[in-house]
Amino acid sequence: MPRHKQPVTLEASSLIALGNWIADRAEHQMIPITKLSQKDTTKAQEALTEYIDCIKAYLQYNVPWMLHDQLTNETVRSLWELLEKTKHSLGFRGCMGKFVSQMNVIIRMAEVVFNKNLTTLSIDAIPKMLRSIFYSKLPMLTGLVHLNLGSLSGGWKTTDMEEAVINSLRNLHCLKYLFINYDCTDNILRCLVENCPNLEKLDISSSKNITNSSIHIIAKFKELKSVQLYRTFVTLDGFVNLLLKCKNLQDIGRCDEIGKVLEYINLYHPKSGPFGLVTYVSRYATNDHLQLAVQLCPYIRSMTVFHNTLQSDLMVLIGLGHLQELKLLSCDFYADQIKQVLQVKGCNITHLHLEHVDQIDLNALMYISQMCPLLESLTLYNCTLIQHTSLYTKKLDIAPFRNLKKITLVSMTTDEQLLFILTNCLNAEFIHVGTAVQFTDDFLLKILEKNPLIYLKELRIMQSDFLTIRSVQKIIESCMSLEILVEVESWTLLTDLDREYIRNYIKVNNYNIDIAPIRRYDS
């Protein structure tokens, strides 16, 4: 992206204007519909429906199908702004009947984008006041490929919602990705089997009505590659049947009993493997379990293991020929042989996540940089980073962290360790620094002098008690590709005047940088 803001493209400008025009049409219809509803509610609704159908037909024939998802986003934005404006216009003596009628017009105006051209819908990304209309009109969106229904009732009214959900999903024949947490049932699964033959990913986590008896329904999905069953009532027997019956599965999400599942299969169905799983996530794994994972799931690319010193040996992981993403929890870098694992497998590792890992010193970071030359993502989360006792003095054979693009540091580190990571990641695009790391102006300037981070797009420095406006200016000047600089509102030394100055400085220089907090719909 260019350093300076570029003129909005004609395409984007047209979509924004069209979204605003839809909101303007809604506001224009408030007066006549409100007056008509005072006389005859039925006629008012009929008139509004006729008007909406007219606009819908106009949009369907004039907006290219590939832009319809973007148009929906702009429409939701503009209608949400109109909802907020209308809410704030209700005075102490305002007429509640008139207000309700106005809000109904705005909410129903969202129907203008309901057609087969909409392919992606996430209910969680829609303002709460507009969600009801999307839920009720879901059957009209016959072209949906990706659908996130959100939490629905949160599991409190599953029985009451089941019929409505089934009626909604019955027409979505193009669906490939579905997220329906808390409220999925066997009847909903049967509906999906009959009407959504192309389904590849199904997330039904936390649905208490999903049990072992649901597995024989899930097994009927011919194209299913990923199913998330965490916090359901599927037990060991259910997961055994799942792996035996669903040959195309690549991901079953977090399954703490996956080791016991493979153990059972190896004992009673020894000729059934190998399986096509590429993701392994478990908080409980013995040495035997890991060996079975290597033996029965040889295609694993992403491995997440909670290490138990007395029960598992991480050296088993070197048998995974396709390993690229490694997430280790609760272990020691040296004592538990992480160094040795990386020595063998590091050349293929692109993502390394270390959580609650002890014994990490500057030498360990150097080893990681040399053994994982293709590393793109590094996360140190709640790790114990210690002072080195004897520094690795050999000249580094490989320039450290040259492929590193994403860095997440949520651990207390020394200045030397920070300097080693942040001065060598020349191609970093995303950096997230937690509250345990407290930068000072001088230290940050020292980093930027050695590595100006010219490719950095997003920087998050959580709550800081030492950084001032001097650091903000240096970051903006140095990081030529910066687009997002968030969490500056939590820097305690920045005053409101400082933040206003920063906003004006960015605006005057036309920099393409967003320092506003991430917007979340709260209504």
**pLDDT tens-place string over residues 214-263:** 999 999 999 999 999 999 999 999 999 999 999 889 999 999 999 999 99
| 43 C-beta neighbours (distance < 10 Å), count | 12
- Helix 10-39 to helix 96-108 angle (10° resolution) is 140
Instruction: Give the pLDDT score at 38.
Output: 86
20: closest CA among 77, 97, 85, 95? 77
Q: Is the dihedral of CA 33, 39, 42, 43 positive or negative?
A: negative
Instruction: Give the pLDDT score at 1.
Output: 56
Q: Mean pLDDT for the chain?
A: 92
Q: Which of 88-97, 261-270, 361-370, 509-518 has the lowest mean pLDDT?
A: 88-97
**Can you tell me the distance from the alpha carbon of 33 to that of 15, in angstroms, rounded to the nearest whole number?**
27
Q: What percent of the chain has pLDDT over 70?
A: 96
Can you give the pTM of this predicted structure? 0.90
Q: Who's near 484: CB < 8 A, 6+ residues apart?
A: 457, 458, 459, 513, 514, 515
284: closest CA among 302, 305, 263? 305
36-53 residue pLDDT tens: 988 888 999 999 999 999
Amino acid symbol at 498: D
* 229 contacts 255 by C-beta, under 8 angstroms: yes
| Better-scored residue on pLDDT, 94 or 226 | 226
Instruction: Give the pLDDT score at 311.
Output: 65
**Can you tell me the distance from the alpha carbon of 473 to that of 487, in angstroms, rounded to the nearest whole number?**
15
Instruction: Give the pLDDT score at 95.
Output: 78
Instruction: Give the pLDDT score at 212.
Output: 96
**178-194 b/e (C-beta count within 10 Å ≥ 16 → b):** bbbbbbbbbebbebbbe
User: Which helix H or strand E contains 86, and what residues bound it?
Assistant: helix 68-89
- Reported confidence tier of residue 90, pLDDT bands at 50, 70, 90: confident
Whether 283 shows a pLDDT value over 90: the answer reads no
Question: How confident is the model over 72-100, as a mean pLDDT?
Answer: 87
**Can you tell me the distance from the alpha carbon of 253 to that of 187, in angstroms, rounded to the nearest whole number?**
22
**Can you tell me the distance from the alpha carbon of 342 to that of 378, in angstroms, rounded to the nearest whole number?**
13
- Reported confidence tier of residue 389, pLDDT bands at 50, 70, 90: low
Question: How confident is the model over 427-450, as a mean pLDDT?
Answer: 94
DSSP-derived secondary structure letter, 223: S
Whether 314 shows a pLDDT value over 60: the answer reads yes
234: closest CA among 257, 214, 211? 211
Question: How confident is the model over 69-85, as a mean pLDDT?
Answer: 95
Whether 67 shows a pLDDT value over 60: the answer reads yes
Instruction: Give the pLDDT score at 94.
Output: 65
Whether 103 shows a pLDDT value over 60: the answer reads yes
Instruction: Give the pLDDT score at 390.
Output: 63
441-490 residue pLDDT tens: 999 999 999 999 999 999 999 888 999 999 999 999 999 999 999 888 88
Cis peptide before 400 (omega within 30 of 0): no
- Reported confidence tier of residue 517, pLDDT bands at 50, 70, 90: confident
Amino acid symbol at 128: K
Whether 397 shows a pLDDT value over 90: the answer reads no
Instruction: Give the pLDDT score at 312.
Output: 75
Q: What percent of the chain has pLDDT over 90?
A: 79
